[in-house]
Structure 1
């Protein structure tokens, strides 16, 4: 008999717990439904009508934004497409100025400026309209050698 009482009490307790859990689930579902109804979905403005435009024809009066010479200007590529290794090919050496130096693992690098254009120059690079070769990078500036002329220093701006 005690086993039957124990068994019956266990079943009653299990039934009460199950009913209680079922009631919480119904309450949660009711709350979620009320919240969904309360929250307003944002209204987006209608998409404007698409206007079809005619393609533009580039003439000599306008500059073609897709012209390769625009993207390669100033990086050592001529307009003919032939690659050159001269930095500042259209600038006289006297117009160049040294901004500073960077010491890297591969050696010393000079930062040279022409107007608003800056380039890093290493020993062995060729620069300027005179196509001078950088033979030495020192604290005072760059030692430049040109073909058939005496070496000259391009001094650092102070």
Structure 2
């Protein structure tokens, strides 16, 4: 999280070919992770993804949500501030259709993506981002990538 920074992008309209799901029906936009939890079969976490091409950065990005999204709307056609990892943005292996840059926090610029203007509640968004990062690292990031990045326990 300490190696992240914010970028501003104009999200394409919902039907745009900039969204990978509009180009290829095999693009995964929702995923459930199987976990072993005793006596809690409702606890399997899920991920929701919005993979798209950013005209401003000439890269593919994927907004990822691993926390409750019931009180928000997708940011189609909106200006948003996206929080990205510096290493991912500078790594040529990221930003492709096959490996978009993960985005784990998004905030509406002109209007909130979340109900009750929660985008502008710093405590809420800090908590949202932290939980999203933890779940991304735990469930989504490949184990080999995790070991490479955090081999020194950082």
TM-score (norm 1): 0.21
Higher normalized contact order (CA 8 Å, seq sep 6+, divided by chain length): 2
Structure ID, larger Rg: 1
